[in-house]
Amino acid sequence: MRGWLMVKKSRQPFEEVVVGLDRPDTAENIRKYSPSGRVPVLLSGNLTVWDSLAIGEYLAETYPAANLWPKDAEARAVARSISAEMHSGFVALRTHCPMKMKEQIQQDTPQEALDDAARVRAIWASTRERYGGGAGFACDGRRPEAAALETGPFLFGAFTIADAMYAPVVSRFRTYGLPLTGPAAAYAEAVWNDPDFQLWYEAARSETLRVPKYEVQKAT
């Protein structure tokens, strides 16, 4: 979802190849495209980019008009920080709340995953407050004059790579009924209602491929 959303938001035409995961031929199929054996991978001419955040960076540099990172350097540094935090962290949330967009699941979510969810909520609320076109104050309390804050419902106003990085978590909050109120809830709603996010959701709803290891957990 993350790489796909980034390419959609770059507004460039692209062709999608879907590879079924957790199957005997998955590794072989992915390695036709990706040297890491992981998806997503972006092929552009002779170039292969095999990591979602690297894909975002490449698209942001190649198609600057798409504004995939915030324009302001301070906001951009924060956007990169929270994107990197998502990329390398939140292991408990990912482990105990696997992404299952179509389902509503009642479970006793372990405290460590709830702690991750709390950190995500705090990131969403504080980023919206400082950079989302609302109050728009810098870390030291100053309003950043060069911020050129854009209005919009996303973390930095307009949709950026940071929103793509957190989009799967928006889905996890919904699937597992994780607590969500106030600005963080409004933000999650905005991502859910984004037309490109909805395109992915509709495709997921009609998807017939299954990932066997995630089918053990039953929806209630």
Closest CB to ligand GSH among residues 44, 126: 44
Among 26, 29, 67, 217, binds ligand GSH (CB under 6 A): 26
39 part of the interface to ligand GSH, by CB under 6 A: yes
Q: How far apart are CA 172 and CA 57, in angstroms?
A: 25
51 part of the interface to ligand GSH, by CB under 6 A: yes
Minimum distance from CB of 185 to ligand GSH (Å)? Answer: 26
Closest CB to ligand GSH among residues 9, 130: 9
Minimum distance from CB of 165 to ligand GSH (Å)? Answer: 9
Q: How far apart are CA 62 and CA 71, in angstroms?
A: 15
Closest CB to ligand GSH among residues 99, 186: 99
DSSP string of 72-129, one letter each residue: SHHHHHHHHHHHHHHHH--HHHHHHS---TT--------HHHHHHHHHHHHHHHHHHH
38 part of the interface to ligand GSH, by CB under 6 A: yes
Instruction: Note whether 36 and 50 are within 8 A (CB).
Output: yes
Q: How far is CA 145 from the centre of its chain?
A: 28
Closest CB to ligand GSH among residues 48, 111: 48
Q: How far apart are CA 127 and CA 183, in angstroms?
A: 10
Closest CB to ligand GSH among residues 21, 138: 21
Is the torsion defined by CA of 153, 156, 160, 165 positive or negative? negative
Minimum distance from CB of 39 to ligand GSH (Å)? Answer: 4
Q: What part of residues 177-196 is at the interface with ligand GSH (CB under 6 A)?
A: none
For residue 49, give the 3-state DSSP assignment.
strand
For binding to ligand GSH (CB under 6 A), which residues are involved?
A: 21-22, 26, 38-40, 51-52
